[in-house]
């Protein structure tokens, strides 16, 4: 029985990591589609979220529930499965946020096609730093899970403040532009939505890392200041 559950847990771990890798690829493509004005790529991000990422998430959940019902695990195995169920949900929501970014690319292209093609999307310079920090958090979150590294999980939690500050800077810059030219309100509003989506991705990374800490140490830290 012990060998059976360990083999099934290993399979679940592989599947959640596959989900994580698929979501990461979609994040990259979503931002790339924004910066390169690639509407076809944006639509592919949206399609993949609906047809692949959501299906993987459902399969992982069903597998975890089956193991819980069949083996009734305790101690570390139970904490692992509970953690995977929560991480699974966060990864699916991160996938949704990547699709939301891609959706903004499609909307911008339809709203003002001539401007979209000719000028592209002029993002504030801090946007690049915000994306780099967000994707760093995401990668390190997966690393922390794979390597069962609580120190790294704490570092990811600390980095969330940097992403929050970047979002506030972007918001302030965009609001200043809108005050000077109110005609850009809707167009720039879509850009602010992208920054909000990146901020939410960082928030989900923090949530996952809090769950990793619980899995490894049995400590619930989400209501405590770990930053």
pLDDT digits (tens, 9 = 90+) for 53-112: 999 999 999 999 999 999 999 888 999 999 999 999 999 999 999 999 999 989 888 876
Residue with tokens 């500050």: 165
Cα angle 3-9-11, degrees, rounded to a multiple of 5: 105
Task: Tell me the per-residue pLDDT of 69-80, one tens digit each, with 9 for 90 and over.
Answer: 999 998 889 999
Cα atoms found within 13 Å of the Cα of residue 7, Cβ hemisphere only:
4
Helix, strand, coil % in the chain, rounded to nearest 5: 90, 0, 10
Buried b (16+ CB within 10 A) or exposed e, 70-99: ebebeeebebbbbbbbbbbbbbbbbbbbbb
Q: Under a CB-based contact definition with an 8 Å cutoff, are residues 113 and 187 in contact?
A: no
pTM: 0.90
CATH of 2-217, one of 3.90.850.10, 3.30.70.260, 3.30.200.20, 1.20.58.220: 1.20.58.220
* Domain map (residue ranges) of the chain: 2-217
Task: Tell me the per-residue pLDDT of 113-124, one tens digit each, with 9 for 90 and over.
Answer: 665 555 555 666
């Amino acid at each position: 029985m012990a060998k059976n559950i360990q083999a099934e847990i290993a399979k679940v771990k592989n599947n959640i990591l596959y989900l994580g890798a698929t979501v990461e690829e979609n994040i990259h493509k979503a931002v790339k589609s924004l910066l390169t004005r690639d509407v076809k790529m944006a639509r592919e991000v949206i399609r993949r979220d609906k047809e692949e990422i959501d299906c993987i998430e459902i399969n992982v959940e069903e597998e975890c529930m089956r193991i819980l019902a069949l083996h009734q695990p305790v101690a570390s195995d139970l904490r692992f499965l509970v953690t995977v169920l929560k991480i699974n949900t966060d990864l699916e929501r991160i996938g949704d946020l990547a699709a939301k970014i891609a959706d903004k690319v499609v909307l911008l292209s339809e709203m003002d096609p001539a401007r979209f093609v000719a000028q592209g999307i002029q993002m504030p310079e801090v946007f690049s730093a915000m994306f780099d920090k967000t994707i760093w958090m995401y990668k390190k979150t997966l690393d922390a899970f794979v390597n069962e590294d609580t120190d790294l999980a704490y570092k990811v939690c600390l980095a969330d403040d940097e992403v929050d500050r970047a979002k506030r800077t972007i918001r302030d810059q965009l609001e200043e532009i809108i005050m000077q030219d109110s005609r850009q309100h809707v167009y720039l509003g879509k850009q602010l939505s992208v920054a909000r989506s990146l901020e939410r991705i960082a928030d989900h990374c923090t949530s996952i890392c809090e769950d990793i800490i619980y899995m490894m140490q049995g400590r619930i830290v989400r209501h405590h200041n770990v930053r």
